[in-house]
Amino acid sequence: MKKLLLLNSCLAILCIMQGQSTAGITGVRDTAYSVVNEYNRQLNYFPFISLPVADTSLSLSVTNSIFCTTPERALALDLYLPRSPGQKKRPALIFIHGGGWRSGNKTMHQPLLRQLAARGYVCITPEYRLSTEALYPAAIYDIKSVIRWTREQARKYYIDPEKIAVAGHSAGGELAAMMGATNGNPAFEGNGCFPRQSSMVNAVIDLDGTLAFIHPESGEGDDSKKISAATHWFGYSKTERPDVWINAAPLSHAGAHCPPFYFINSGVDRMHAGREDFRKILTAHSIYSGVHTFPGSPHSFVFFQPWFDTIVNKMDRFLQKTFSPKNELSRITVAADGSGDFTSIQAAIRSVPDHNKKPVEIQVKKGIYYEKIFIDSLRPYITITGEDKFNTIITYNDHTGKISPAGETISTRTSWTLKIMAAHFTARNISIRNDAGFTAGQAVALESDGDYGRFINCRITGFQDVLLIDGGKGRQYFRDCYIEGTTDFIFGSATAWFENCVIHSRKNSHVTAASTPGENEFGYVFNRCRLTGDTSLHQVSLGRPWRPFAKVVYLNCEMGAHIKPEGWSTWNNNDNHKTTYYAEYKSKGPGANPEKRLDWTHQLTRKEARKYSISRVLHGWKPEQE
């Protein structure tokens, strides 16, 4: 099947090349698109813009190096190299100029590439055959040749062949995106130079490059006033051969083979055509993509200040994150006094890329951080580490019935101080609390819905509905934590293991209100935990059957005098208790009264207790070993 698809793809390319109109092939360079011309034109609309200086002191340069000879002519490239000495391998950045596949030249982005070379990248900017000399897909073959040349010359220029990024602006952005979208597709290799080398790229930066030519958001292909740039390049109008226009779109080829992508866009909406569709495909394959848009900027924004410096920084940051060693722990510091990378925990979280696959530790210095923090499902592998759990505090005071700043009525599910949707989250040495007050009603401090959630040596405090552990199939682990509340202060549908935790009650009510799905074998397991309460309490239940299949088990736990003799609650005498599973094993302390427990609850035998291991309860996950 794979060979058949490849054959069909190759035949499609050959079919495209037959019958193309050569009317646009003049053999004369089109010089209309240049930085100076564009600057003079845009000054009419943006009088504040300026041209950055190409500072030659920032980098070494090698110009007009021939990388491939085509039937039309020899193609050259320019290199901008870091000045710093040493033999360390560096990432390479191939930057492709724009100009509608018909104009422009390799000198257009010299200021940008010198800046990036100064930051440690080997920057390469090539020529490619324009539509005045050869039609699609010749330019694609040429850029593939540049990539292969880069690997061929990797030793000479100290390039890491596993860290090759390709970027481009406008038509160059389309070509860059096409490189990533056709990674490993032999149909687009052509008969270029250095065929023994790979043309795979490891990252793509698309600056306002077309992703889809035939798309509701696209403005390409209007030949009513003059022949469009794309029509010249393809040799067919959009109506003559829509299949060609579709075949040339990066969106048509996106898939699991793509590398990470970063999109830097102007304020011109049509230049974003297909971007979100493209990103959805990457997301479906767990491939990172990011976007930065400059609202109100022109399509040629890449040439000018005030956007130039931010573009350099955004490109550098994306490449650093993409090319950092696998499994390298990235650390971010948050400090309320301004001595860290951020003063806000939420701001630090936002700096983590979507679909992050590398561990990121956010180290939080002592202080009270009054903020409502959300970690969405696109940002896994985050650890938040406090400097001191008693003095590093995240707090907020939302509660059910309160009106939010947006005018919405807050519910239990929106009252959280910290909400985690991402998998592989860890919190250590930090306090998470809701300060809504004793009489405020439901007020969640921590809601953890993602899988593989770990909380170690944390304080989780509030009043009613403090800790919501949800997600049905999600697994949560709490070790050496202090959890305090009034009613149902541990609730939700997740499977959770509590190891050596202190569970403190502030009211004669219920500790747990599990809503375990019926198909789940386990719900909450408390192992070697200590249940304590305010001295005035004597009627606290271990749990009530809030949902019909609730499962809660206490193993080797010390029960304070606040736990009522019957231990559990039937809760309004409904029928939920008939399908719940509440059990204890070797409870001790003044609140342990096995002979007085409700008759539908269980006292486990030694054999029955053996099935409650961390690995089994959490379906193979061993969080204590991480």
Active site residues: 465, 488
- Measured at the CA of 302, the angle between CA 37 and CA 300, to 5 degrees, comes to 45
H-helix segments, 119-209: 138-152, 171-181
Q: Cα separation of 242 and 366, whole Å?
A: 61
Q: DSSP class of residue 232?
A: H
Q: Are 543 and 514 in contact (CB under 8 A)?
A: yes
Q: Give the 3-state DSSP-derived string for 278-326, with helices as H, strands as E and coil as C.
A: HHHHHHHCCCCEEEEECCCCCCCHHHCECCHHHHHHHHHHHHHHHHCCC
Q: Which residues, 6+ apart, have CB-to-CB distance to 169 below 8 Å?
A: 96, 97, 98, 109, 207, 208, 209, 302
Whether a cis peptide bond, with omega within 30° of 0, leads into 306 is: yes
Taking the alpha carbons at both ends of the chain, their separation in whole angstroms is 42
How far is residue 600's CA from residue 581's CA, in Å, rounded to a whole number? 9
Q: Report which secondary-structure segment, H or E, holds 59.
A: strand 59-69
Do residues 303 and 266 touch, judged by C-beta distance below 8 A?
no
Q: What are the structure tokens assigned to 396, written together?
A: 């907020």
Report yes or no: 463 and 484 within 8 Å, Cβ to Cβ.
no
d(CA 611, CA 19): 72
For residue 137, cis peptide bond before it (omega within 30 degrees of 0): yes
* Rounded distance between C-alpha atoms, residue 403 and residue 175, angstroms: 50
C-alpha–C-alpha distance, residues 406 and 3, integer Å: 56
